[in-house]
Chains A and B, each alone.
Chain A
Amino acid sequence: MSEIKIKKENIILNLEANNKQEVILELASRLEKNGYILNLEEFVHQVINREEQISTGIGKNIAIPHGKSSFVKESTICAAKLNKPIKWSSMDGEPVEIVFLLAIKGSDEGDKHLRILADLAEKLMDDLYVKKIKATNDFEQFYSALQF
C-alpha cells in the first residue's frame, strides 16, 4: 500500500438507507462535510442523472455511482457498506450492499485521480478484493481491506 486511496473520513459502515437516491445523498453529504464538494444539491442531481442513463450496479453487490462535475472541489472516493442490501438495477439483478461514490473534479485533466478511479474499477474485478471488503463489519478491517 503505497498511498491511502480511500480516506477514513470518507468511509461509512452500517449506512442506513432505503434506496439508491438516499445512499447517494448520504455519501455526497459526507463528502460535502469533509470539504470535497462545493454544491451538494447540484452534485447529487448530476450523479442521479448519470445513474438514470446507465445503472452503475456492476454486480457482486457493488455499485459505483459517479459524477464529473464543476461542483467537486477535489476528486475523491467515498465508500460505504449498507446495513441492509437495496435494489440498484444491477447488471446481475442482485441487490447492492457496498457503494463507492466517485467524485471527479470537472476540470481534472491531471490524470492522477482518474488513474485511482481506473485502478479501483480494475480492482473490483478481483474476486479476492471483493471477498475481503464484504467479509468484515469492523471499521479498521474494512478500511484496510478497501485500500488497493
Chain B
Amino acid sequence: MTKIVAVTACIAGLAHTYMAKANLEKFAKQKNIEIKVETQGAMGIENKLSEEDIKEADVVIFSVDTNVADRDRFEHKKILEVGTSEVIKKGEEVIGKAINMAEGEK
C-alpha cells in the first residue's frame, strides 16, 4: 500500500498550515492512502515525522510557502513540492500526483 508523509508550513503559521494538513488527510482518506502530516506552524513542529515514517514513505509532499525545517531528513526521497494554496484549492489533484509519483517507483 502506498504511504505518504507530508510537511505543511505557511508564512504566519496560523491558518494555511492547518488547512493544508486537513485537506491532505481528507483526500488521502478518500483514496484509502495512509498519510502522516507534520505541521510546522505557530505552535512549533507537531506530529513530527519519525525516521521510520520517512523511511517507509513512498513519496513526500512539501506543502509549504516557506522553508522546511530539518529538510535533511528527506534526502534521497521522492519529493512533491507545492504551495499551501494549491493543496487547499486542489487537494485531490495533489494527492493524485503524489500517488502517481509513488507508483512510478514500483
Contacts and interface: CB of A to CB of B under 8 A. Distances in A.
Interface in A105-125: 111, 114-115, 117-125
Contact of A102 (B14, B39, B88): B14
Range for the number of chain A residues in contact with chain B:
20 to 34
Given A58-B88, A92-B89, A102-B14, A121 B43 contact: no
Interface in B30-50: 39, 41-43
A117 B14 contact: yes
A37 B84 CA distance: 29
Interface string A113-148: 011011111111110000000000000000000000
Q: Is the interface of B mostly helix, strand, loop or mixed?
A: helix
Given A91-B85, A122-B21, A114 B43 contact: yes
Given A91-B85, A115-B43, A121 B18 contact: yes
A53 B19 CA distance: 18
B18 A91 contact: no
Contacts of B85: 91
B22 interface: yes
Interface string A37-77: 00000000000001001101011000010101000000000
Interface of A: 50, 53-54, 56, 58-59, 64, 66, 68, 91-92, 102, 104, 111, 114-115, 117-126
A104 B13 CA distance: 12
Which 4 A-B residue pairings sit nearest by Cβ, starting from the closest? A125-B22, A121-B18, A122-B22, A121-B15
